Structure formats: structure tokens, C-alpha cells
Amino acid sequence: MKKFIASLGAWLLGMPAALAQPLPSVPEPSITGINDFYDALKAIAQWILVFGIILGVVFIIIGGISILTSGGDQNKLGTGKKTITWAIVGVIVLILSYSIVNIIARFFGASGDVIAP
């Protein structure tokens, strides 16, 4: 079990390096207009999205392991199902909040590229 946890940790540490898109850097703290504010908000939202999805995948794996090791125990089986359900709900909320940032920015007149995951 220790080898499994160690290999899972090594895999998770290497996972951000496997992402295809480089994450933007947060712009300088001198925000002078809506576009500068939008760029800062966009960078923060992209970082939160990446780490939230990674965390969601980890909890889906944990829920799956809980289901696989339940051995007929209904409490452990229910816990695994709830873990997977709430991990999926969390990822969906993250994706929706990511798109809401773009909608609100467009409403206030920010221009520039659209947030693309």
C-alpha cells in the first residue's frame, strides 16, 4: 500500500507538467482598467481550474478505491459513491464558474481573448 501511495503521489506531482497549455502569469499589480482586471481574473481562474480538476480526479480515484475495497460493506460502498458524486459536482461547478468569469467580463466591456480551457 505504501508503494501505491508513493507512486500515486509521484504521478500527481508530474501531472501539472503534462498539461498542454502553459498557464498565464498574473499581470503586474498596476490595474488601470477593466482589461487589466480581466487579465488578472482570467489568470487566477485558470490556476484555480487546473488545480480544482486535478483535485477532482484525485477524489474520483479515492472514491473508486473505496468502492473496490468495500468488500460488501454498504457504508463504505455508500461513502465511495458519495465521494465520486461530489467530486463530479465540484468539477462541474468549477467549469461553470470559469465560464461565468468570461460572461461577467464581457458584460462589463472587457475585450481580449476569450478564456479557453
Q: What is the pLDDT tens value at each position of the chain, 117 positions in all?
A: 555 555 655 555 555 554 555 666 655 566 677 777 777 777 788 888 889 999 999 999 999 999 999 888 899 999 999 999 999 999 999 888 877 877 777 777 766 555 554
Q: Is residue 29 part of a domain?
A: no
Q: Is residue 85 part of a domain?
A: yes
CA separation (Å) from 90 to 3, 40, 57?
29, 23, 10
Give helix 34-68 / helix 74-107 axis angle, nearest 10°.
170
Instruction: Give the domain extent around 94.
Output: 57-112
Would you state the pLDDT for residue 87? 95
Question: How many domains, the chain?
Answer: 1
Would you state the pLDDT for residue 80? 93
Q: Is residue 71 part of a domain?
A: yes
Would you state the pLDDT for residue 77? 92
Other C-beta atoms closer than 10 Å to the C-beta of 63 total 20
Grid coordinates representing 33 are: 482598467
Q: What are phi and psi of 13, to 5 degrees?
A: -70, -30
Would you state the pLDDT for residue 97? 82
Q: Is residue 15 part of a domain?
A: no
Asked whether 91 and 56 are in contact (CB, 8 A), the reply is: yes
Q: Is residue 94 part of a domain?
A: yes
Asked whether 88 and 56 are in contact (CB, 8 A), the reply is: yes
Would you state the pLDDT for residue 101? 74
Q: Is residue 30 part of a domain?
A: no
Would you state the pLDDT for residue 38? 75
Would you state the pLDDT for residue 107? 79
